[in-house]
Amino acid sequence: MNEIILLKLGELVLKGNNRRIFEDRFMTNVRRRLKPIGDFKVYSVQSTVYVEPQSDCDMDTAVEACAHVFGAVSVCRAAVCPKDENEIVKIAKEYLKDEMNAASTFKVESKRSDKSFHLDSIKLSQFVGGELADAFPHITADMHTPELTVRVEVRDFAAYVHASGIPGAGGMPLGINGKAVCLLSGGIDSPVALHMLAKRGVEPIAVHFQSPPYTSPLALEKVEELAKISCDYTGILELRTVHFTEIQEAIRDNCPEDLFTVIMRRFMMRVADKIAHANGCKAIVTGESLGQVASQTMEAMAATEAACSLPVLRPVICMDKEEIVTIARRIGTFETSIRPFEDCCTVFTPRHPRTRPRMEDVLAAESRLDVEGLTERAFQNVERSVIKL
Ligand code: ATP
Ligand code: MG
């Protein structure tokens, strides 16, 4: 039996030209995502994207891949039928028999975009519904709250039969809302923040700060693995690694201990800002969550973001840890994030970090450092890698 995949697009508020840009980008992302799986024809008709296999391919894998492309609200497999009501019934009986056997109520909904088809949508639904009710006597018709909705679509070249699909990844097609630098530590929060930004159509460039020999190469490996898992939704992810040791040692040697964290975070922002400008990124994304640790008070965040020029976006700012963990589990990053290797935030951690740093104290402490030189050297030594699925 021939099958295709139907992807229903979300964000229906988008109109006119924006809608076309949305669809085109979505289809490009779907094509790229499906390339390693097989040869597919991808095209759109009225807010539905059709994915037609051109040869024998693994449809389970293709459906799963489509469900991870941002922009679709639902993904369903459909059987391709000749445009003949008896053929449609014959295929529906076979194709949907598991769903029909499992449900106790159902209805049929038809759509006829080929107006030359001789039955209108109501008549077609009645016909298919009647035949299915005869074939599966345990199930009754329910027009209002059916457990199963069988959908029949009669289009230009064929008819399609399907049941409800699985949820799509939602959001907006990757790349449609520009690029941002995402600060990726090895923790739980930042991979979730990166995912949420990507879901809004922003292409992320991940930036990780490491401080060898104080941080282990295993910490970097963990971040690379998190980046790889993130690719399950983004397809590809650029990762920049910043050598942060010189900066952290300079802070340790010259600044008051209780300001280490805020000053270190201000340097992260400065370097991230440079990477962002060099790569056409319009924002810096972090996994900060209000009140979670000393550096995530409103005062500390104000001091941190004063060091950079771009907006700082914090997708998980108002989420509880439990909520963040739920997303981390769903996107598959949680188990990797809880591995023990620590990132540079735990290097020279003050015993009593200042939760409400005063700006004049911060600036006085930084005046003992060559801020420009340190930032520029870290920026010049950034390492680049591209992580793929
Ligand atoms: P996470 O779980 O994401 O590590 P966290 O709760 O541990 O966050 P912090 O360590 O204060 O919080 O870090 C806040 C944010 O700063 C992180 O979410 C991340 O965006 C960024 N960040 C922290 N450490 C690093 C690092 N080594 N490399 C890149 N970004 C970092
Ligand atoms: Mg952390």
Distance 384 CA to ligand 1 centre (A): 19
Closest C-alpha to ligand 1, atom 10: 345
Indicate whether 345 pLDDT > 80: no
d(CA 90, CA 107): 17
pLDDT tens readout for residues 223-242: 999 999 999 999 999 999 99
Ligand nearest to the CA of 226: 1
CA angle centred on 113, ends 110 and 116, rounded to 5°: 105
222 lines ligand 1 (CB under 6 A): no
Closest C-alpha to ligand 1, atom 14: 288
Residue 341's pLDDT is what?
Answer: 78
Q: What's this model's pTM, rounded to 2 decimal places?
A: 0.92
- Which residues are CB-neighbours of 137 under 8 A, at least 6 positions away? none
Distance 70 CA to ligand 1 centre (A): 25
pLDDT tens readout for residues 291-326: 888 788 999 999 999 999 999 999 999 999 999 999
The mean pLDDT value for 333-357 works out to 86
29 lines ligand 1 (CB under 6 A): no
- With a pLDDT cut of 70, the percent of the chain lying above it is 99
For the purposes of burial, counting CB atoms within 10 Å of the CB of 204, is it exposed (0-12), middle (13-18) or buried (19 or more)? buried
Ligand nearest to the CA of 289: 1
Q: Name the more confident of 346 and 146.
A: 146
Residue 292's pLDDT is what?
Answer: 81
d(CA 38, CA 58): 8
Structure tokens that stand for 317 in this block: 């700012």
- For residue 374, name the pLDDT band (cuts at 50, 70, 90): very high
Residue 13's pLDDT is what?
Answer: 59
Cβ distance 74 to 165 under 8 Å?
Answer: yes
- For residue 350, name the pLDDT band (cuts at 50, 70, 90): confident
Indicate whether 206 pLDDT > 90: yes
To test ligand 1's pocket by mutation, which of 182, 189, 223 has the most ligand atoms within 8 angstroms of CB? Answer: 189
pLDDT tens readout for residues 237-279: 999 999 999 999 999 999 999 999 999 999 999 999 999 999 9
The mean pLDDT value for 64-73 works out to 96
Indicate whether 348 pLDDT > 90: no
Residue 347's pLDDT is what?
Answer: 79
Strands 105-112 and 140-141: parallel
Distance 189 CA to ligand 1 centre (A): 7
For the purposes of burial, counting CB atoms within 10 Å of the CB of 16, is it exposed (0-12), middle (13-18) or buried (19 or more)? exposed
Average pLDDT, the chain: 94
* CATH label, 3-167, candidates 3.40.50.1000, 3.90.25.10, 3.30.2080.10, 3.30.2130.30: 3.30.2130.30
183 lines ligand 1 (CB under 6 A): yes
What residues does each domain of the chain span?
Answer: 3-167, 179-388
Q: Per CATH, which fold does 179-388 belong to?
A: Rossmann fold (3.40.50)
Structure tokens that stand for 57 in this block: 């391919």
Closest C-alpha to ligand 1, atom 11: 295
Indicate whether 147 pLDDT > 80: yes
